[in-house]
């Protein structure tokens, strides 16, 4: 107990320096946690992918369409359970600054294909029976204060014209990483309208979303599907939903690498701050350590004392950072909802914060502890004199 009191008193002997060190560690670890959360937000679509879903798109580019007629042939591949046409609509609501993702989908098996979208049976039925209706996420509804029965008109950019639709359902995510900012509406509505406005563009889809019974056969089924359309005018590329999402993430690889590098630079900075504090403390108390050695304290005991002081400061800063990060991230999530629809602190980020805080405490004390344990009593007194 006496030793613990001695460690506590020594750690806060210079209160201002101790407090600044704790705050420095907390700020740096909070910044590290936020950067990690941004990276997690970037990969949210990948993590939310289902192993039982495949995506078939044009092998040339995602921007090139596929014939809707492919659906029947894909449906006959062994292992395929559901096939639903879909595509990026790219509509704008009032102004470009109101961006949110919007897709056309075939709705027959939509809710069976996406079980993570939770909708009440009544709303589900209303959406499925009204071809000019839409289902939207809870966060999107909150953002624009939309309610069931409201009419929303999107201005088409890929498909020109005004596209009014009625909101018949609002879904909520079954998991924290489910995107609740998306609008889905009927592919049939799009296709029928395109037959009138631009018949040459009718009967085309952006991709086919495929549900398979056995996720372990994903690679085999993908090859079978692509083999059906080899040497055709529109060859296909079939991949898992996870690989499909990773393709989008890979487009931002340089940015992600930069964020990752900065997050580790932040850790290096807090290590330098903590190490400087412990080095100053050991140097100033060299005479005290010489006295303790004279009284019989061994080198391991003195090194352990310095290590405990370093750990106390580092862990206090770590605890502060872990406490501050979730509410801070929540504030960021509100402000950046347009860009990061899924933004929450993951357990992995908290574990990394704790691990780096622990490592900083140990490493910052390593050199000062070694010097204190190695210095001879006479040399220590000579330096003081």
Instruction: Choose the weakest-confidence range: 183-187, 313-317, 373-377.
Output: 373-377
H or E element that contains 88: strand 80-88
Predicted TM-score (pTM) of this structure: 0.74
Task: Please report, for the chain, the start and end positions of each structural domain, with discontinuous segments joined by +.
Answer: 1-46+252-382, 60-234
Lowest mean pLDDT among 82-86, 298-302, 310-314, 362-366: 298-302
pLDDT band at 383 (very low <50, low <70, confident <90, very high): low
Residue with tokens 């071809």: 131
**pLDDT tens string 81-115:** 999 999 999 899 988 888 899 999 999 889 999 99
Residues 173-215: pLDDT tens digits? 988 888 899 999 999 999 999 999 888 889 999 999 999 988 8
What is the band of 1 on the pLDDT scale with cuts at 50, 70, 90?
A: low
Interatomic CA distance for residues 193 and 196, integer angstroms: 5
372 versus 315: the higher-pLDDT residue is: 315
Mean pLDDT (the chain) is 88
Q: Where are the beta strands (DSSP E) in 255-352?
A: none
Helix crossing, 253-284 with 286-294: angle to 10°? 60
What is the bridge-based pairing of β-strands 183-186 and 102-105?
parallel
Q: Give the C-alpha separation, 380 to 377, whole Å.
A: 5
How is residue 36 written in tokens?
Answer: 């990690």
- C-alpha closest to that of 290 among 363, 206, 378: 378
Evaluated on CA atoms 175, 176, 177, 181, the torsion sign reads: positive
Instruction: Give the integer Cα–Cα distance in Å for 183 and 132.
Output: 13
62 φ/ψ sector (left φ>0, alpha ψ -120 to 50, else beta): alpha
Helix axes 286-294, 377-384, angle to 10 degrees: 140
Q: Summarize pLDDT for 320-340 with one digit per residue, the tens.
A: 999 999 999 888 887 777 677
């Amino acid at each position: 107990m006496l030793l613990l009191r001695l460690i506590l008193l020594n750690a806060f002997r210079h209160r201002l320096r101790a407090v600044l060190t704790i705050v420095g560690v907390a700020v740096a670890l909070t910044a590290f946690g936020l950067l990690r959360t941004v990276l997690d937000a970037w990969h949210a679509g990948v993590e939310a992918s289902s192993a039982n879903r495949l995506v078939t798109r044009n092998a040339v580019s995602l921007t090139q369409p596929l014939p809707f007629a492919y659906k029947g042939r894909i449906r006959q591949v062994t292992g395929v359970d559901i096939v639903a046409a879909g595509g990026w609509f790219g509509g704008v609501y009032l102004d470009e600054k109101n961006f949110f993702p919007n897709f056309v989908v075939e709705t027959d098996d939509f809710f069976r294909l996406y079980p993570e979208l939770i909708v009440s049976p009544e709303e589900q039925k209303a959406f499925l029976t009204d071809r000019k209706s839409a289902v939207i996420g809870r966060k999107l509804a909150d953002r624009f204060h939309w309610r069931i029965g409201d009419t929303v008109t999107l201005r088409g950019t890929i498909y020109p014209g005004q596209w009014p639709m009625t909101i018949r359902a609002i879904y909520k995510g079954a998991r924290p990483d489910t995107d609740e900012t998306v609008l889905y509406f009927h592919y049939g509505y799009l296709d029928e309208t395109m037959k009138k406005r631009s018949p040459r563009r009718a009967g085309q889809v952006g991709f086919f979303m495929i549900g398979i019974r056995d996720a372990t056969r994903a690679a085999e089924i993908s090859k079978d599907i692509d083999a059906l359309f080899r040497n055709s005018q529109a060859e296909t590329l079939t991949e898992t939903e996870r690989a499909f999402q990773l393709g989008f993430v890979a487009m931002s690889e340089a940015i992600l690498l930069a964020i990752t590098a900065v997050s580790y630079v932040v850790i290096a900075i807090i290590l330098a701050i903590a190490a400087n504090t412990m080095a100053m403390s050991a140097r100033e108390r060299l005479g005290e350590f010489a006295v303790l050695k004279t009284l019989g304290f061994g080198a391991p005991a003195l090194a352990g004392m310095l290590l405990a002081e370093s750990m106390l400061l580092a862990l206090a800063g770590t605890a502060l950072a872990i406490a501050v990060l979730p509410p801070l991230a929540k504030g960021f999530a509100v402000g950046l909802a347009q860009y990061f629809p899924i933004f929450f602190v993951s357990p992995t980020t908290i574990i990394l914060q704790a691990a780096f805080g622990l490592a900083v405490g140990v490493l910052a004390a390593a050199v000062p502890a070694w010097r204190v344990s190695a210095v001879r009593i006479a040399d220590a007194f000579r330096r003081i004199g």
